[in-house]
Chain A
């Protein structure tokens, strides 16, 4: 029998009367609930903190100097600890300097002859460069994370952000160099094209699920492969997407400059309108999910498809709409990459956005605000990693380890709670669900 430690809202213990038994939700729902609802904000923050600590340990103890010092632990403990601390903190400071703020840039700024020189040479911009890079790195993650988050709220797993990204990228790139349009229009057309390209890929998944019941995880993973190979194929044919004279490099022609997303802070900083687009989409998703009828349907279908049906909603139609929008958002993430920073498409443009999107959505607990914050965190890690490698020699892969640790802790709230001896705020999640009965 399930016990319920009451949440802050006092209510009578409601267990005694559910005589007909509860239906067992699908296992995917169980997992989703455990991660999304089993986490309080505290647990999420602690998860990040724990991952950082463990990452620091890893950084320290793969450093030969530190290991050497620890060889002499008993003769010189102070040195050993100091070395370990220096290694770890040095790495994190470097990340911070690469992602947020680097004090050296300020001193360099004051060495300039005058303000106008500073502006022209980019010394002023250099002060804001870390932040700019963080935002640039975060932008596609915000959009792709929103894509996955919207699907999560409706009970669907969108593993196909990669395929939707590629779909959007292909269309946006082709519109970028293939047609010629006046300045503002070209940008907008390409952005819309990216949305459409991604939406089509999402729509395929939705329709397959609605008509045949095909599980979206399988379909999206398959589509990832299909689109990745399709992209490589298209890029290898001069008649299609290939850049002339690319010598076998699978890369597309550059898109027209009219299609570039405008820069926001001068030519020395990469931050562009894509960031604003991403924030606007986050606001839009918030409005959609909490203030619109469509979002109400999405949430209801996600929370209880049976009740949704009994209330007159069409569950298959909702799935199609959700995947359409999710695909479009992932397509938009491609737009920010192609039109914001890369200006051309190559066979690896999609990078790891598809998978990172999932972790960003989980970390952000499928809420738009959380997704933005999580994406900024990941963006910061990506932005700071190169400086870390350059100045301390710690390989950038450490950042991936830290990211993976964050994901691991976020996905296992009881682990974090056990480490920090937290009481469960809500007895929700796997434990409670599995101790209920069910009925046929």
Chain B
């Protein structure tokens, strides 16, 4: 089906979300919509999917005008959408969610659960989206829920599939899976609209890219356009995509973790249940260095951060901050001891959406002078500080009294950073700090983290974005099933990192990582742009993120001997003697 959007305009009060947008999507293509947060991509797709009505403009399907009053019309017309925020019923099983609205019934109207389950299993195998049909949706991790969402759209045999930021919650391996599926769908004659703000992915998968900025189309480009040009179109100015950093100068040991064991919370991926979320971790971080924790989401990173913050109890082991034992300290105590925490989910754990910026900036310091004296808050002091921070961090807002939920994701993250690094911290714990942020904000956050490092703060950076890990880390620790499978310098090749992330070739070599979704089911297809092993910084235009799944598992020449670290997670000591930490250019 060829879709054409002509002159689509949508206003929310004085805000013009879509400004006379023209877009044509041809059959059998993957069309990317690229733009910063707030550019109007989601609004445009909501119009196409019938969730909202345009103020002006028309939609044509194969030359015929198409009116879409509701998603029902859209689905009937063959348009399917996978939303950025999932539309799943938490208490339903996967099968129930996938067949919701399209239920299979036996005579008398009884639900035919067996057929539903079979259908889900069939589809999940056909497209390689592994899910357990009987798993309870609310127990699944975010990445798996994403798969259910995609299955939902595929079940209804959509001819045009709209994917709204689908990779935001996927690991590199899962992203590669998704791309494979998208290519298959494209070969089968479908059209796919792929909304994203991630340059690399868009370049990897799209046949053509339309860039939106502030509600207008600012250009359409082929995927081999340079990253810098795309970024500049998105943001309106030239953007430094890889922040430069000088070599680290690590000082004394700031964080000392020994044999940390944190009990598990809930069930994980199909087929597995971790016995302990964090299973005997030991590591040290020095002042003035950044330890990047790489790993597929769901291997205990979240639990590690929460245990370090005191939000989860520790079963055994010890945590020392600057030689103080904080293993059993309260979160408040740890904050006072000098930990800054940028949580993974900024809206759930980091901010109070309905509170103004000024109150969020003092969320953890409100009861200390100068922000309070005794029981009374010192409002003027709070206001002054908030205004100073807004200036310093360039937070775009009308006033400091604006509720933070009205800010864009990037600005919200800046509020959190302003709060955490505004205090005198010794250790900065940053978990997925640039998740969901646009290019400009990512640049800011990265620069700020490096600044903190240069000021002597020890930084633990947990991220599932390998680009970020490579760009910022002075040392990389790879986490798998609650343990560190290895410590590497940032010049480690991606493939090796990928294997370690999958639990292969490291200290422990568990059951070939079949429990882990990072390994794609099809080892036959070499990933695009997989460079020759051991070759640092190749000039390969393809993105590196999907490359982790490339080589066959267990390929011995990828340096299994090189990763032969001792059986315990004893890390190599002090990278301080390596002044030329080479920063791998993530293509």
Query: Would you give the 0/1 interface string for A9-20, flagging 1 where the beta carbon is closer than 8 Å to chain B?
Result: 111111111111
State which of A9, A13, A19 has its C-beta within 8 Å of the C-beta of B165. A19
- The answer to whether A22 and B347 touch across the interface, beta carbons within 8 angstroms, is yes
- The answer to whether B364 and A293 touch across the interface, beta carbons within 8 angstroms, is no
Stretch at the interface among A226-234, A301-309, A325-333, A336-344: A301-309
Chain A: how many interface residues by the 8 Å CB criterion?
48
B: residues with CB less than 8 A from A are: 12-15, 17, 37-43, 46, 51-52, 83-88, 90, 138-142, 145, 164-165, 168-169, 197, 266, 309, 311, 330-336, 341, 343-345, 347-355, 359, 363-364, 366-367, 372, 375-377, 379, 396-399, 402, 405-410, 432, 435-438
- The answer to whether B436 and A312 touch across the interface, beta carbons within 8 angstroms, is no
Note all chain B residues with C-beta closer than 8 A to A437. Answer: 83, 85-88
Note all chain A residues with C-beta closer than 8 A to B87. Answer: 437
- The answer to whether A312 and B348 touch across the interface, beta carbons within 8 angstroms, is no
Task: Looking at the assembled complex, report how far the CB atom of A346 sits from the nearest CB atom of chain B, in whole angstroms.
Answer: 39
Task: Looking at the assembled complex, report how far the CB atom of B313 sits from the nearest CB atom of chain A, in whole angstroms.
Answer: 13
- The answer to whether A4 and B12 touch across the interface, beta carbons within 8 angstroms, is yes
Note all chain A residues with C-beta closer than 8 A to B375. Answer: 292-294
Note all chain A residues with C-beta closer than 8 A to B359. Answer: 296
In the complex, whether A68 has a CB less than 8 A from a CB of chain B is no
- The answer to whether B311 and A309 touch across the interface, beta carbons within 8 angstroms, is yes
Note all chain B residues with C-beta closer than 8 A to A291. Answer: 376-377, 379
- The answer to whether A18 and B347 touch across the interface, beta carbons within 8 angstroms, is yes
A-B contact pairs, 27 of them (CB 8 A): A1-B83, A4-B12, A5-B12, A9-B402, A9-B406, A14-B407, A14-B408, A16-B37, A16-B38, A17-B410, A19-B436, A20-B345, A23-B345, A23-B347, A291-B377, A292-B377, A293-B377, A300-B352, A307-B348, A307-B351, A307-B352, A311-B331, A312-B334, A312-B335, A314-B332, A438-B86, A440-B138
- The answer to whether A17 and B85 touch across the interface, beta carbons within 8 angstroms, is no
Q: Given A1-B83, A20-B169, are A292 and B376 also a contact pair (CB < 8 Å)? A: yes
The complex places the Cα of A4 from the Cα of B399 at a distance, in Å, of 20
Q: Give me 6 other A-B pairs in contact (C-beta within 8 A), A17-B197, A37-B354 excluded.
A: A3-B46, A5-B12, A16-B41, A20-B436, A297-B367, A303-B354
State which of A7, A17, A309 has its C-beta within 8 Å of the C-beta of B37. A17
Q: Name which residue of chain A comes closest to B87, CB basis.
A: A437
- The answer to whether B364 and A17 touch across the interface, beta carbons within 8 angstroms, is no
The complex places the Cα of A19 from the Cα of B37 at a distance, in Å, of 11
Note all chain B residues with C-beta closer than 8 A to A1. Answer: 42, 46, 51, 83-85, 164
- The answer to whether B142 and A296 touch across the interface, beta carbons within 8 angstroms, is no
In the complex, whether A215 has a CB less than 8 A from a CB of chain B is no
Q: Name which residue of chain B comes closest to A296, CB basis.
A: B366
The complex places the Cα of A24 from the Cα of B347 at a distance, in Å, of 11
State which of A6, A24, A313, A439 has its C-beta within 8 Å of the C-beta of B13. A6
Task: Looking at the assembled complex, report how far the CB atom of A318 sits from the nearest CB atom of chain B, in whole angstroms.
Answer: 12
State which of A12, A310, A436 has its C-beta within 8 Å of the C-beta of B309. A310
Note all chain A residues with C-beta closer than 8 A to B139. Answer: 440
- The answer to whether B169 and A19 touch across the interface, beta carbons within 8 angstroms, is yes
The complex places the Cα of A306 from the Cα of B306 at a distance, in Å, of 12
- The answer to whether B351 and A5 touch across the interface, beta carbons within 8 angstroms, is no
The complex places the Cα of A308 from the Cα of B83 at a distance, in Å, of 29
In the complex, whether A393 has a CB less than 8 A from a CB of chain B is no
The complex places the Cα of A318 from the Cα of B379 at a distance, in Å, of 22
Task: Looking at the assembled complex, report how far the CB atom of A311 sits from the nearest CB atom of chain B, in whole angstroms.
Answer: 4
Of A6, A293, A297, A308, chain B has the most CB atoms within 10 Å of the CB of: A293
Task: Looking at the assembled complex, report how far the CB atom of B155 sits from the nearest CB atom of chain A, in whole angstroms.
Answer: 19
- The answer to whether A20 and B168 touch across the interface, beta carbons within 8 angstroms, is yes
Note all chain B residues with C-beta closer than 8 A to A71. Answer: none
The complex places the Cα of A306 from the Cα of B349 at a distance, in Å, of 5
Note all chain B residues with C-beta closer than 8 A to A23. Answer: 345, 347-348
Q: Name which residue of chain A comes closest to B373, CB basis.
A: A293
Q: Given A14-B37, A19-B435, A21-B86, are A6 and B12 also a contact pair (CB < 8 Å)? A: yes
Q: Given A310-B309, A310-B311, A440-B266, are A19 and B351 also a contact pair (CB < 8 Å)? A: no
